[in-house]
Amino acid sequence: MFVSNCLFGCLGALNWLLYLKIKKSNKLTLGGTQNSLERQINIKMITSFLIIVYLGLLNVVIHLGVYDSPLIYWGISVVVAAAVVYSIPGVITWFLLGLTFYPVSLFLKRNWFAAHAISLNRFQTEVLNEASYMGILLFIGYVVYLFQKRLSNTLENLRQSRHFLLQAQNVANIGVYSLDINLGKWESSTILDRIFGIDKAFNRSVEGWASLIHPEDHGFMLDHFQNDVLGKHFQFNKEYRIIRQNDDKVRWLHGKGELEFNLQSQPTKMIGTIQDITERKIIELELVAAKNEAEAALKTKATFLDIAAHELRTPITTLALLLDVLQKENEKGLAPSASIVIRFRKQVDRLTGLVLDLLDMSRLDRGIIVLRPERTNLVHFIKKCVEEFRFQFPSRRFSYVESDKAIEIEMDTVRIHQVLSNLVDNANKYTPTDSPIEIKIEDLPEMVRVSVIDCGQGISKEIQEHLFTEFFRGNTQETNRADGLGLGLSVCRGIMDLHGGKIGVLSELGKGSTFYFELYKKSKTA
Amino acid sequence: MNTILVVENEDDILFALTILLERDGYAVRTAQNGAVALETLEKHGLPDLILLDMSMPIMDGWEFSRVLDEKYKNKPPVVIMTAAADAGKRAKDIGAADWIGKPFVLKNLLELIKKTLSSAVPAPQS
């Protein structure tokens, strides 16, 4: 009796140590709320410990000879178990074990060795009984040990795989969720909480999720969830933006989810993953933008070649024909007439203009135009320009109010002259010959504005947007009315950019147009 | 003497072609655009050939050809002059007799005019 009780004591102590060890090693990695699996493991461990204590007690009771009152111990043990295990399955297990106590005690009481024909003295009987108890108890102890060992291995494996899973989720930034469709509530992993930027208090419902979605994606995401997933039972699979709860940052997510169904084929759950793909998405969007830009550049190039070829053909055709005329006159021994020379000059000027525009555009593109700013009296400069325009377009009326106030600024006079003549050229080209062109200087607080005002047909808002881009020419239906490559205004913009100034247009259809440029009075180019 | 109507908005081309064609023995009439060309037709009757530029302000080559087809049953052959890349297709679209791309060599233009005039069905006498 003494030996078997010692064995029980050891077994119980070992069991308790094992339990503490497993509990300690798992505590750190499980994290979050205690889930049902962990609870079950706790119950099993405590139960097996109590079985050993119980069997020890049983041993004591049998040896004390209190065979007739096992029910008392049974009752006590059920109460103890209920108090310790604190769970329904624990109490049931304990109850069933208690039930076995009674027949076992009755069986042992029989002293079944004495029932045999072998005659044994009291000592011999005592030894044999003790040996048989020990045998039974060691067997039970061994079974419990095996059970615990398996449990311990299972737990270790579970711990390992859970660790890997968590690490993988962490590295891939993948959060996991489980949505109860009937309740409309979801549970989330810690990584998902981090992705959403939410804390424990967050309302984990469908509405809560919807409130995180970026306003622009809100509509189609709810539509996808309601119609595609819940309605048609498709897989949930979308890339969408959220506004992260804790820092209000826009993040790109990739959400995936599968439905789970009950026996009536009704969806009950949706389990899925959410990955933060912001960094990848940003690169993706940049690539798309770069591709579009490259395509636009190719298109611009094609447009340019088209326009350039067309624009070059006309003056070349004209020059060739004029040469033919010249040749004929020459054959007749006539000197070239003045009118032919003027016509030659006009066509060559036109070609020169085209080539200069092209050169400027290419230089601006490559950033190799260097300004030569010098201190200039703008009022005086504009006055000189207007005189020049009057000479250049003798049939056009230019109105210009002279002012004697000097406005000194830093600018590249050649380039600013180019901008102004371009604006005047355009005004001349697009307005009836009899309407005047006004040139005006305004002295604004920080800047000086020079405007070229015409009474032409005006420019619609849509066209205004494109005016300063390359190769754009107003009124595309009559493109040939306006010669040129459509580079003039974009070259002007480039020049004004270099000056740190501005260029713009104010116009309304039917009310004429005002093209203006502005220069800082205090030099910004320095 | 064959009469040629040149419709072209580029003043210098009109100037040069007039001199060159007249020197080659044609009577030349000119118009700056389709609308002016139609007026000329009203006033002076049909020429033997029309040299037509396609892109012109006010009334371009397409519009002019359309009105020409509508108004005149026995229209004279039209030769178009264009800087566009798809000149052949344009010529077919408006039912032109032939086309020449800009820039062109005078010799080729004169040959084309000669060829077109000789192969044209003479207008009915009545």
- Residue A410's beta-bridge partner residues? A375
> Chain B contact for A363, CB < 8 A?
no
Range with the poorest average pLDDT among A85-89, A173-177, A350-354, B39-43: A85-89
What average pLDDT is seen over chain A?
77
pTM of the model: 0.51
Cα distance between residue A457 and residue A443, in whole Å: 28
The model's pLDDT over A466-486, given as tens digits with 9 standing for 90+, comes to 788 766 655 544 444 445 667
Complete DSSP assignment for A342-356: HHHHHHHHHHHHHHH
pLDDT at A76: 55
* pLDDT winner (highest mean) among A34-48, A55-69, B81-95: B81-95
Which DSSP helix (H) or strand (E) runs through A374? strand A374-377
Contact flag A317-B105 (C-beta cutoff 8 Å): no
pLDDT at A308: 76
Picking from A431, A514, A428, A435, the residue whose alpha carbon sits closest to that of residue A467 is A514
Distance from CA of A309 to the nearest CA of B (A): 8
Amino acid at A135: G
Q: How confident is the model at residue A101 (pLDDT cuts 50, 70, 90)?
A: low
A456-462 contacts: CB < 8 A, separation 24 or more? A456/A427, A456/A430, A456/A431, A456/A432, A456/A512, A456/A513, A457/A430, A457/A431, A457/A509, A457/A510, A457/A512, A458/A507, A458/A508, A458/A509, A458/A510, A458/A511, A458/A512, A458/A513, A459/A505, A459/A507, A459/A509, A459/A513, A460/A509
- Closest partner CB to A322 (pick from B12, B57, B105): B12
Contacts of A338 in chain B (CB under 8 A): none
Q: Which CA distances in Å does A183 have to A33, A49, A241, A260?
A: 20, 39, 25, 14
Q: How confident is the model at residue A450 (pLDDT cuts 50, 70, 90)?
A: very high
Q: How confident is the model at residue A112 (pLDDT cuts 50, 70, 90)?
A: very low
pLDDT at A28: 41
Say if CB B7 and CB B51 are below 8 A apart: yes
DSSP class of residue A252?
E
Cα distance between residue A189 and residue A194, in whole Å: 9
pLDDT at B49: 92
CA angle centred on A57, ends A56 and A63, rounded to 5°: 95
Over range A269-286, report the average pLDDT: 92
> Chain B contact for A28, CB < 8 A?
no
pLDDT at A243 over 90: yes
pLDDT at A248 over 60: yes
Picking from A179, A240, A186, the residue whose alpha carbon sits closest to that of residue A213 is A240
B25: left (phi over 0), alpha (psi -120 to 50) or beta: left
Cα distance between residue A396 and residue A424, in whole Å: 11
pLDDT at A155: 79
The model's pLDDT over A485-504, given as tens digits with 9 standing for 90+, comes to 677 888 888 889 888 889 99
pLDDT at A68: 46
Measure the N-to-C terminal CA separation of chain A; round to a whole number of Å. 106
Range with the poorest average pLDDT among A53-57, A74-78, A271-275, A349-353: A74-78
The model's pLDDT over A427-445, given as tens digits with 9 standing for 90+, comes to 888 888 888 999 999 888 8
Which DSSP helix (H) or strand (E) runs through B98? strand B98-101
- Residue A260's beta-bridge partner residues? A269
Cα distance between residue B99 and residue A298, in whole Å: 30
Q: How confident is the model at residue A123 (pLDDT cuts 50, 70, 90)?
A: low
Cα distance between residue A427 and residue A266, in whole Å: 73
- Closest partner CB to A322 (pick from B16, B23, B85): B16
Cα distance between residue A497 and residue B31, in whole Å: 44
- φ and ψ at residue A234, rounded to 5 degrees: -75, 165
Cα distance between residue A299 and residue A296, in whole Å: 5
Low-confidence ranges of chain B (pLDDT < 70): 120-126
For A65-189, where are the alpha helices, taking DSSP H only?
70-85, 88-109, 122-172
- φ and ψ at residue A403, rounded to 5 degrees: -130, 150
Contacts of B102 in chain A (CB under 8 A): 313-314, 316-317
Alpha carbon A466 to its chain centroid, in Å, reads: 32
Q: Which residue of chain A has the CA closest to B58?
A: A478
Q: How confident is the model at residue A25 (pLDDT cuts 50, 70, 90)?
A: low
Handedness of CA A292, A293, A294, A297 (dihedral sign): positive
Amino acid at A125: T
pLDDT at A3: 54
Say if CB B41 and CB B51 are below 8 A apart: no
pLDDT at A405: 80
Distance from CA of B15 to the nearest CA of A (A): 8
pLDDT at B75: 86
Give the rounded percent of residues in chain A with a pLDDT score beyond 90. Answer: 22
pLDDT at A157: 85
Picking from A420, A438, A439, A428, the residue whose alpha carbon sits closest to that of residue A489 is A420
Please report the residues numbered 186 through 215 in chain A whose beta carbons come closer than 8 angstroms to any beta carbon of chain B.
none
Handedness of CA A312, A315, A321, A324 (dihedral sign): negative
Q: How confident is the model at residue A46 (pLDDT cuts 50, 70, 90)?
A: low
Cα distance between residue A160 and residue A29, in whole Å: 9
Contact flag A325-B20 (C-beta cutoff 8 Å): yes
> Chain B contact for A481, CB < 8 A?
yes
pLDDT at A85: 46
pLDDT at A154 over 90: no
Over range A304-331, report the average pLDDT: 85
pLDDT at A222 over 80: yes
Range with the poorest average pLDDT among A130-134, A382-386, B11-15, B17-21: A130-134
Q: Which residue of chain A has the CA closest to B105?
A: A320
